[in-house]
Structure 1
Amino acid sequence: MNDYIEKAYKFLLEQDLDHTHDLGHILRVTKYAEFIALNEKADIEVVIISALLHDIARPDELKGIIEDHAVEGAIRAKNFLMSIKYPKYEEVYYCIENHRFKKQIIPETLEGKILQDADRLDALGYIGIARVFMHNSGGNIEERINHFYEKILKLKDLMHTNTAKDVALGKSKIIEDYILGLKDELEVYYGKER
């Protein structure tokens, strides 16, 4: 681990994180981002630091203190990186500012695209299923199933890099199979017409 990455990781550990965007989520996103960056020949250092810091402001958004965790997180990350004299702080700022799904932005840099892809990959597969049911928005089973259709299952078609597209296909299939099984079980109890 290089010095800047290590300092970013230590800074991350000092942050307050929320339960669906916790340290586990951030480390998984970082691993996906590193894997994609290696395959796509991107700036791995920028990608890793961006991934480590991408959700540092999320808890404040959930508390209603700030409006957009991506914008505020980018500012906090930039200030921290400038304080440790990291030369590529603008590149990291750009990645974090534009990573958010809700904004529907396609980043202009490869590193920004990779952070989006990595973040979206963690919403897929078995862990993605668990995160949907852990999310603060709650809701009954039907509402959670709708969330899979309204957002999660669309993610595989929104990946930017070929590496992420390949990974997303398998992880989406896991969710598709799960939803079919869940619907089958619900029909046993409630019938086809609910």
Structure 2
Amino acid sequence: MSSLESIIYKIKNRLKIAPDIYFKIASYVKDVLGLDTAGHGWLHIERVSRLAVKIALDEGGDLDILLLAALLHDIAILREIYEGVDHAEEGAKISRSILKDLGIPDDMIEKVIYAIKVHRFGANITPHTIEARILQDADRLDALGAVGVARAFSYGGFRKLPMYLPGEKPDVYDPFKLKSTLTHFYEKLLKLKDYMNTETARKIAEDRHRFIRIFLDRFLNEIEGTF
């Protein structure tokens, strides 16, 4: 049983949409993103979906809206990487077409689209729906902890960025301005725990944030030759 199948099996009695719809969307997303492209592939989508459901079971929210948004939230990430478009805005447009073709009700589509539009950290938006707040939390949690460290260097390698640059200073985070992977930790990842929307996510974030701090202390000691 795949991770997505296990998620759907766990909550199937609370879903209004047939499982086959989710599996069709998943198949499409896998084809578009690949397994683990730059830390934003299908494996990221599965982890975010699992985290989103975990948070929602504690915090509430419509599980259909949340799961649809989690599956589709990064559908345009490769267009951002290669073409410079905003993947949240473009992903919302692509997702609307997909969901309409699948016969998803219009009112549900609008809530899914909203969650996708506002999910990215760089937009600095506090959502007004619980589903969008949870999607933000789940996506941000996947950028923390051991997985977050691995994803940061995976993305850096994919974009041919240096691990670190002596003398480079952190600035205001800009997703379209590429810097070394180490600077990315200070501009974004170390800030994420303070931008969680739900209590459930805040608890998870504290532990994952501690791991990143431990990693950075060791990393800096090693590159400075003091460890």
TM-score normalized with structure 1 length:
0.91
**Which residue, 81, 84, 87 being the options, matches 1:69?**
87
Is residue 185 of structure 2 the alignment partner of residue 148 of structure 1? yes
Q: Percent identity?
A: 39
**Which residue, 54, 65, 68 being the options, matches 2:73?**
54
Segment drifting more, 141-150 vs 175-184: 141-150
Whole-angstrom CA distance in 1 between matches of 2:195 and 2:224: 31
- Corresponding residue of 1:118: 138
1:182/1:96 Cα in 2 relative to 1: closer, same or farther (>3 Å)? same
- Corresponding residue of 2:149: 129
- Corresponding residue of 2:110: 90
Give runs of aligned pairs for residues 23-38 of structure 1, distance below 5 A. 23-38=42-57
Whole-angstrom CA distance in 2 between matches of 1:168 and 1:102: 18
TM-score normalized with structure 2 length:
0.78
The letter of the residue matching 2:99 is L
1:16/1:131 Cα in 2 relative to 1: closer, same or farther (>3 Å)? closer
Structure 1: which 5+ residue stretches go unaligned? Answer: none
After TM superposition, give the deviation of residue 137 of structure 1 in Å.
Answer: 5.9
1:138/1:6 Cα in 2 relative to 1: closer, same or farther (>3 Å)? same
Residues 4 and 86 in structure 1, CA contact (< 8 A), matched pair in contact too: no
Residues 12 and 52 in structure 1, CA contact (< 8 A), matched pair in contact too: yes
1:164/1:188 Cα in 2 relative to 1: closer, same or farther (>3 Å)? same
Whole-angstrom CA distance in 2 between matches of 1:63 and 1:118: 25
- Corresponding residue of 1:8: 25
After TM superposition, give the deviation of residue 126 of structure 1 in Å.
Answer: 0.6
For the aligned residues, what is the CA RMSD?
Answer: 1.7
The letter of the residue matching 2:74 is D
The letter of the residue matching 1:58 is I
Whole-angstrom CA distance in 2 between matches of 1:145 and 1:63: 22
For this pair of structures, how many residues does the alignment match? Answer: 189
Whole-angstrom CA distance in 2 between matches of 1:26 and 1:16: 10
